[in-house]
């Protein structure tokens, strides 16, 4: 494969260059099924490594604390305008360094320490910034979790309403890291209104689907929508916040100077490129293929006996309950065996999992990265086959190595975006 590395780095620091080359090679020749990862375009990567990394630009366009910000203003305004257009948002902030930082700023904007927050249980798909005890969200606020129904394994809006009425949260959070079904943002908004809570939708995973109109948008319903830019949105690692004009000053103030210092201008530059890509018609086709591919993978796994949490998926990811086919296999062991065969994914709790979070009974699989490299439905069926064979080989290292060789050859036919 051709390396993306430029000659100056290879010459000045061969040690680092070598590690980068090996990572390029790993990404090229493994199947990436981690639902939160993707491969950005060469254009996004180029912008991300531009001279914008050299510049301090504390503040916002037109109101900077440093001189020399004329092009900083131009790029941040471009990123903001493109993002506004993508989501039909009244106000946006593109400075959040990450999804976690975006959430932090919203919490600081609307909550005081000890305030009650209603959010999706982490064991049922919620994110660590939605109230994990060892995260600041769980340490600072009184978290009341809602979960999925034992029967349907879907969020039950009647149960959410009941909890909201009982606990009167200041903030309700909807959004997830491992939930394969559609969020009813309108219903969440109605509940928030009833109990006088603010509503934050964290669409980190599904932002790309929303842009393409393949998942309802949170923006008309939620007071605050936060997201990452690097998952289905396929931009650089980063975060963003969207809100109504009435909350604009509050959000901006709690990103800077509230919780962050200087913005990562090179990342904002790459966000502008990614938002530009997302505005094009091809992006909608890409997102539709993500869903088609997730459906194909889900169907192929089901036909091999695997049980999927909630029976399937509406979006880009699925949770596989391993117990139906491999009763004694933990998610942890499955993840390791698959990695040895070049199939990369992560262990994940399934709802009401009897195993610990460090072991789990499930895997989370996502289609965004494989879709980027050109996979369509037939390839996803083959992925299911390779995955099943690698897990069935189990302790048989040679059996897994054989699958690994096939994975490598398979990847060779679907090269990643190159310069």
Ligand X SMILES: *Cc1c(COP(=O)(O)O)cnc(C)c1O
Active site positions, annotated: 56, 58, 202, 228, 231, 237
Q: Cβ(291)–Cβ(133) under 8 Å?
A: no
- Number of residues in contact with ligand X, rule: CB under 6 A? 14
Which C-beta is closer to ligand X: that of 120 or that of 189?
120
Task: Name which position in 30, 38, 93, 98 contacts ligand X (CB under 6 A).
Answer: 98
Which C-beta is closer to ligand X: that of 200 or that of 300?
200
Q: Can residue 320 be called a binding residue for ligand X (CB under 6 A)?
A: no
d(CA 28, CA 48): 20
d(CA 301, CA 330): 17
Kindly give, in sequence order, each residue whose CB lies less than 8 Å from that of residue 137, ignoring residues fewer than 6 positions away: 103, 107, 117, 128, 129, 130, 131, 143
Q: Taking CB under 6 A as the criterion, which residues in 232-271 touch ligand X?
A: 239
Which C-beta is closer to ligand X: that of 226 or that of 330?
226
Task: Name which position in 40, 75, 100, 294 contacts ligand X (CB under 6 A).
Answer: 100
Kindly give, in sequence order, each residue whose CB lies less than 8 Å from that of residue 409, ignoring residues fewer than 6 positions away: none
344-363 burial code (b ≥16 CB/10 A, e <16) = bbbbbbbbebebeeeebbbb
Q: Taking CB under 6 A as the criterion, which residues in 34-93 touch ligand X?
A: 36
**Residue 9 C-alpha from the chain's centroid:** 30
Q: What are phi and psi of 174, to 5 degrees?
A: -125, 150
Q: Taking CB under 6 A as the criterion, which residues in 173-202 touch ligand X?
A: 175-177, 202
What is the length of the chain? 419
Task: Name which position in 228, 267, 293, 315 contacts ligand X (CB under 6 A).
Answer: 228
Residue 80's closest CA among 271, 213, 257, 261? 271
Q: How far is the CB of 240 from ligand X (least distance, A)?
A: 10
Q: Cβ(174)–Cβ(147) under 8 Å?
A: no
Which C-beta is closer to ligand X: that of 99 or that of 362?
99
**Strand arrangement, sheet containing 317-321:** 307-308, 317-321, 362-366, 346-348
Q: Can residue 210 be called a binding residue for ligand X (CB under 6 A)?
A: no
d(CA 343, CA 30): 6
Q: How far is the CB of 231 from ligand X (least distance, A)?
A: 6
Task: Draw the binding track, 122-161, toward ligand X (x: CB under 6 A; -: no contact).
Answer: -----x-x--------------------------------
Phi-psi map region of 259: left, alpha, beta (phi>0 left; psi -120 to 50 alpha): alpha
Q: How far is the CB of 27 from ligand X (least distance, A)?
A: 18
Phi-psi map region of 266: left, alpha, beta (phi>0 left; psi -120 to 50 alpha): alpha
Task: Name which position in 106, 204, 318, 403 contacts ligand X (CB under 6 A).
Answer: 204
Q: How far is the CB of 291 from ligand X (least distance, A)?
A: 18
Binding piece for ligand X, criterion CB under 6 A, among 170-178, 274-282, 348-356, 390-398: 170-178
Task: Draw the binding track, 338-377, toward ligand X (x: CB under 6 A; -: no contact).
Answer: ----------------------------------------
Give the footprint of ligand X on this chain (CB under 6 A).
36, 98-100, 127, 129, 175-177, 202, 204-205, 228, 239
């Amino acid at each position: 494969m051709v390396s993306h590395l430029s000659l100056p780095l290879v010459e000045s620091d061969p040690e680092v260059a070598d590690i980068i080359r090996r990572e390029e090679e790993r990404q090229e020749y493994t199947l990436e099924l981690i639902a939160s990862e993707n491969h950005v375009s060469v254009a996004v990567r180029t912008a991300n490594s531009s001279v914008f990394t050299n510049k301090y630009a504390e503040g916002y366009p037109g109101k900077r604390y440093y001189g020399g910000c004329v092009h900083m203003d131009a790029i941040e305004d471009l990123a903001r305008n493109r993002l506004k257009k993508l989501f039909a948002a009244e106000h946006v902030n593109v400075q959040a360094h990450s999804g976690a930082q975006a959430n932090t700023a919203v919490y600081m904007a609307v909550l005081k320490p000890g305030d009650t927050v209603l959010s999706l249980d982490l064991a049922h798909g919620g994110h660590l910034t939605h109230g994990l005890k060892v995260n600041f969200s769980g340490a600072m606020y009184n978290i009341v979790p809602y979960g999925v129904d034992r029967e349907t394994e879907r969020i039950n809006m009647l149960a959410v309403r009941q909890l909201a009425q009982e606990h009167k949260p200041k903030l309700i959070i909807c959004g997830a890291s491992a939930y394969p079904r559609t969020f009813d943002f309108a219903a969440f908004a109605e509940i928030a209104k009833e109990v006088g809570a603010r509503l934050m939708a964290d669409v980190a995973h599904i932002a790309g689907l929303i842009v393409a109109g393949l998942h309802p948008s949170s923006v008309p319903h939620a007071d605050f929508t936060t997201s990452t830019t690097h998952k289905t949105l396929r931009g650089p690692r980063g975060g963003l916040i969207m809100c109504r004009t009435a909350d604009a000053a509050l959000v901006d103030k709690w990103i800077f100077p509230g919780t962050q210092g200087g913005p990562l201008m090179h990342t904002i530059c790459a966000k502008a490129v990614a938002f530009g890509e997302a505005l094009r018609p091809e992006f909608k086709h890409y997102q539709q293929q993500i869903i088609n591919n997730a459906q194909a993978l889900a169907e192929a796994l089901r036909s091999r006996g695997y049980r999927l949490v909630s029976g399937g998926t509406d979006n880009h990811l699925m949770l596989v309950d391993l117990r139906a086919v491999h009763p004694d296999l933990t998610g942890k062991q499955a993840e390791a065996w698959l990695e040895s065969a070049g199939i990369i994914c992560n262990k994940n709790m399934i709802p009401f999992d009897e195993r610990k979070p460090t072991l789990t009974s499930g895997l989370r699989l996502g289609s965004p990265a494989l879709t980027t490299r050109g996979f369509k439905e037939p390839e996803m069926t083959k992925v299911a086959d390779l995955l099943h064979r690698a897990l069935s080989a189990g302790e048989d290292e040679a059996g897994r190595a054989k699958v690994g060789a096939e994975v490598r050859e398979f990847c060779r036919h679907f090269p990643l975006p190159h310069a």
